[in-house]
Structure 1
């Protein structure tokens, strides 16, 4: 969910300026993890990456005390835009994950129908 849509939903609910619901918290956590994952795609060495991870955490901590819903929506929208602009063109995929290096490597054999088996045995006649 886009940050502005999330804040509109909260404002429409009439519960006042509380964009800090559990859905908001989950969204910010997801955004933080996506930032870390993207930065790890750019830097393979963990010792160097750790400095970047600390910088990302500091950026999120600076925005932690924003209470104005409009300002918060603006900050989150900028973060999404920046993440999209800096996305790695070829992100790391886990070996067993979808499209990973081991994805569907050992597929089970194709099951033939009886007619296909006979055709294969008799040379396709």
Structure 2
């Protein structure tokens, strides 16, 4: 898996995949803070609005800056004790 700090050229397939993974990480990370899905849904909508707001940015420097800011925000808001689903092992 590529490093999240790797430089990805805007407007390529790699860029699209990078943005999709960033969006997914933001959604998953927000679940660490709000476990209940009905409450979390509002946060998910807010995240989507932020990504959609910058969807039509075409300046490569602005895109790079936005991605860098999003990465920093994810790092800053990382939960100190992330929620993990319990795993139950069935003994047969």
TM-score (normalised: structure 2): 0.85
Task: Note the alpha carbon deviations across 1:51-105, whole angstroms, 9 max, x for none.
Answer: 0100000000001000000000000000000000000111122334xxxxx48x9
Tell me which residue corresponds to 1:5.
7
Contact 1:39/1:49 (8 A) holds in 2: yes
Tell me which residue corresponds to 1:23.
14
Unaligned runs of at least 5 residues, structure 2:
none
Tell me which residue corresponds to 2:52.
61
From the CA coordinates, give the structure whose radius of gyration is larger: 1
Matched, 1:74 2:76: no
Contact 1:4/1:73 (8 A) holds in 2: no
Secondary structure of the 1:60 match is helix
Task: Note the alpha carbon deviations across 1:12-47, whole angstroms, 9 max, x for none.
Answer: xxxxxxx21111111101000000001111001111
Contact 1:4/1:77 (8 A) holds in 2: no
CA gap of 1:21–1:3, structure 2 versus 1, over 3 A, is farther
Aligned residues: 89
Structure having greater relative contact order (Cα 8 Å, sep ≥ 6): 2
Tell me which residue corresponds to 1:121.
none
Unaligned runs of at least 5 residues, structure 1:
8-18, 97-101, 107-125
